[in-house]
Amino acid sequence: MTLRRAVLLLAAAVIATSLFVAPSAASAAPRAAATAGPVSAAQAAAAALAARGTKIVAAARNQRGKPYRYGARGPSAFDCSGLAGYAYAKAGVRLPRTAQAQYRRARKITAAAARPGDLVFWVSGNHAYHVAVYAGAGQVWHAPKPGDRVKLAKIWNWKQVRFGRV
């Protein structure tokens, strides 16, 4: 196991522990992690990125079932870029309004480098026509289309998919 993967797994465990156990037990996990040895700046940055991604995915997941409405930014309805912007705002990150503007803002990454909380864009030519929040394991949280609702879905049409990180 690589050091990076170990740090990400540790960060995920700390986050999961703090979300699902009593406060007294949750406070022990960071202390245990702190006693495991020195942490480099890169490891700390990776852990912070993983924590932010977890928060973004949770914010998107919490909108499950809300209706799609063109131009809607929440909290009662969303379009695709509105959902991404809302989820990122819950993690303290402001995104531009449209899928295309979000695509221009994002640093492009490979599918292999994608982590939960990254953005997934469907692009035709150089135009992003849909955006979603990467949930991991080839799945996204998105507001698909009129008449549909926010939901978890498998990534489709991989030829048009691009990943980005903000």
- What residues are labeled active site? 80, 130, 142
- Give the phi and the psi of residue 142 in degrees, each rounded to 5: -155, 165
Q: Report in angstroms the alpha-carbon separations of 66 from 6, 9, 72, 143.
A: 36, 31, 11, 8
Distance (Å, whole) CA 58 – CA 17: 15
Query: Which residue(s) pair with 162 in the sheet?
Result: 121
Distance (Å, whole) CA 125 – CA 71: 23
Helix (H/G/I), strand (E/B), else coil: 130: strand
Distance (Å, whole) CA 163 – CA 115: 10
Distance (Å, whole) CA 24 – CA 54: 22
Q: Count the alpha carbons within 13 Å of 16 in the hemisphere toward its beta carbon.
A: 6
